[in-house]
Amino acid sequence: LPVHFKHWLKNEEVEEGRTAVLRCELTKPNAPVEWRKGDTVLQTSDKYEIRQEGTRAELYIYDAEAQDA
């Protein structure tokens, strides 16, 4: 069966310099998730942390700036 979103991403507001967390939930546990900003695929780094457990996927954006929108 194809994977679908149980809970879609929601817009998040965060003060500059803080950590933004984006979350979604899928219908299948541990389905591959690719986080993107435009055409760029995001990878875990000092700026981004990608976590996935079961059906929940999360993207942490550290030290958020206006350009992260």
| Contact by Cβ (8 Å): 16, 64 | yes
User: By percentage, how much of the chain surpasses pLDDT 70?
Assistant: 100
State which residues of the chain have pLDDT below 50: none
The 5-7 sheet, strands edge to edge: 5-7, 20-26, 56-61, 48-53
Return the pLDDT at 1.
Answer: 78
Return the pLDDT at 24.
Answer: 93
Return the pLDDT at 19.
Answer: 96
d(CA 16, CA 3) in angstroms, rounded, equals 34
Residue ranges of domains in the chain: 5-68
Return the pLDDT at 45.
Answer: 96
CATH superfamily of 5-68: Immunoglobulins (2.60.40.10)
